[in-house]
Structure 1
């Protein structure tokens, strides 16, 4: 009888469950637990489907809970504010996790697929928190399909039409006919590491010899710069693999499209970050109008299956890999190729599999990797790009690169092997040009630091948080020092132990809500200086014209936009959670509308691929973790076609950890310069900026205790 009453009065049942939700911490506490699991898995490099599903479901539930809290007018007291604060903490962890593996951002796009597994997990989490979930309408049974860990694959209707119109691909026996000599001298030698080392040691500018362009090769009156025309001429003469590592802003997109036209490499697949898909379509229409391009969104319902150029973003590539590998592709371009540096990630595996399939079918496909920042932290970032281009496999150089290494007549143990090996790799297709060498008329660029004083309350809070973090590091250091055997303790600061303690802190990132870490510290600083950075951008907009405002965190963007709105300044907003059409609408408004003065941009969503050269001033409201990321952002305005000197105003919070982070970023700027540009500066340690920031904090704390650095 009691059961019947409960079924007849579901409202009463729900009322009973709500107190338990508060007692157990509710859905927010559950989301915090799950997001820590995701964070831990990504830190350990575990690219598992279950981790991606958890990330997507937590992000969706955070959005839903935030919207619910704001919609309930009765919940305006401190309790509602506290819940929103807790949700912000979960969102922060999601953001820092996505910064480690940016492929996760695709799971938040409007066109991202919500799998059955994700729906099931969402229901499970809600029910665990005592929230009733209405039953979904029953679906018609679908035929069983092979189980697959990746997201479901699709075949757009227009692609099926293309397949039916031409069911048999023209056979190509060139891949079978082409044979390379087997290695002789280098059998048994480990070669990948010596090749990497040859670039770490530096040398001359890393750029293959390129032919002079012939005017007769151009079918249209294209306004190409000489360096662009030389790359296209090389493709016309038969070269088929390129790592185009020109500095950002030198027109790599046009070079790739025209190289594909010169090589007749159609159908051509172009894999790009989501934010630049529409820009690639526009560039294709401009440079190669006789070869129609189509952009793949979601499941691809609206694509042109007969197009010559297929543009797809990394995040949905796995859905379309099936039909793409059967399309008879003769060329593939990977934009922002440093995205595939982690060879274990799903997106890297998708790209490498398609590349291998193309190379298996035809002997000389056109393969182009584009990146203005090929090296982010380490020379090892090269490896996945070389594998995509078919220069190496999992363990060794292959094909023509291996033949070139054999022709050197030396082994890695011989003097002279390293520079000769480096030249052999470069000649396979590395193309690197600097703005100062090929675009003499490009205006100057400078980064100017603007120190700002944070107001008293925020400054005290930040200093207290820094002190709490430093105290925790000190405690760990003292414990570790006390555990050392007698006689092993060094005089002064034990720098090896300092780095060990900092590395442990960097890896642990305690789950306690009250615990500060280097990520929460930088976010605190970003929030504190957001209003000051926005005021500075507003002053620039009034005095110097259009301004691009970059930030890492959404709340910093929100504060800036509120500041601009209060001051009557119109702005465009470019964020990661926008649809492609919405994003393009904001870009067009900033570019074309003289009354839109500022573009407020997410460093993740707008830091690559966009052309915002209508502005010559930029405000970097928050610091990046790498010089490469900072440079990519600046090069949204420092590009071919820019006529004004470019200044990036970097807002630095004085007397905080911000100042040290800025110094560390600048110290790491020489990585690509030494490996590719032949610069003489020392290659910095590949240890990340977060670790070095923690080392700085701990050493400063030790000095305050009276423990001095060694002379």
Structure 2
């Protein structure tokens, strides 16, 4: 909105409303304050005519819009923002007390409440009275007559049909599912979703449920849990069944979810995840729950194991599989990166909510877990879809369990103590939030976490074909050497000395090769293919943990990442080798000092040394190094003196490619270095040696196949 008479030619409605002088906002609040007092007085007199109801609704709409504008205004000072929100809260409090006198007004606050022509006209008048230009009404474009949209394409994998036909005892029994509508009570006539959300806006205490002491710190295969992980699993074992697990990234939410499902015997278990972490979930399930079979839904589900205990599906293909997933009889459901469903109008949100509702109505006390390091992206309303998935609320208000807890407080939203009590009721349903700094004694100060990603489509097939051709060339060269060898002992099985010599010949020839793939160009292609997935993960981390350092070896990977960050409106600093010293320092300073610069995009070769970037505690390694020393140097840009938080390096690895073997080789070198005395030359091996070892591994695997 802008002042009348000052609207710039061609300015959009959004641009006009984005920047308003403080006196404009003050004028609107004054108009709203007068109007709400008029409504309050009319309700006290019992004179609630249609015009009063209209004014009540318009004031509520404008308060909601102004609150959202103030929260989004990056140019406003903290003092100004706090003052404006305080004044708006005062108006909202009067609205709440007024609605408590006449509960019929509450229906005007619903999201689907009809906005009448009289309300639209009054809203315009109030904006004009405040000295603001209301948005112009735009006529809806006429839609050509077209047939109705076809229904979404649904599929049922053949193995799922086989499961349904194989054994009648596998059919889910829905007869025991409870039906517990909330009992009418003192709060039945109150609008409660708004007060519940607001109770989280200004709280000072941590929002985390009290968890029991762990029974054991040991998991499958001799793996040991961190105490904070074991506490959540103990809670599931004790019978708790809904969790909003909002631990910071790097604290093992995946392991907690898988082991909580085991403790609750919540099988079959449905896991809905972003595509970038789908493969990692399958790997982690094999690690933490090895006796449970996991299957990953790809495309139309041709490779799905219909008899699996854990079904992993990504948001992007969920719409094709909603039908059979809803009928499989899941006893538990996990939603990873749950902030993805914050927009309840999106298809992904509707699919997730549909499945959770189906599970709740068919399964007694299912395990429902929402995992996210950042449940709130834009504003407090982002909680609603997650709470609805967990079954704490529905569109009308709190469900039975939460409503009973609220009734037991003996308070109403008109009571000053209601906010703290209501917040405690919601937290007790299962909000669990731990920060790295809170559990620093439980985790390593420096940690490398591998994140496998699938290279799908034509690019992935091309890379796998190129790797296969390289392996076949090595095998052919090996057999030719065997046939022409005239001296030396004969070795049963694989001649590993010859394998190493063949790998050495290949490495020596790769610079002169005119055609065909060599290990260096293959790894570079893999880096390009991973670039978008790595950048996407870095963008997700920004919302969870703040500043992130993104490392890549090649310019094209950095370019791809920066294009994605630009598209998403994420500000970044680029630190490259072709910059002047002055420009490079400017970019470093921007990342270190400007709170709006969220990511440092760094060249692994030129920014891996000599930089202090400890303002961040998370590093994304988009491409693998050829030496462990190079990788360590990059991580140490963040993990250094002045760093107050534990550091996590997220290493993006292309599954089912040579990338995996290279990561293992780097880790083996790290193990040698850890065992060596300071000054050992174990870490002085050239990158060419790592290429040699990768070729040896590739040839050995091909000969063993």
The structure, 1 or 2, with the larger RCO (C-alpha pairs under 8 Å, 6+ apart) is 1
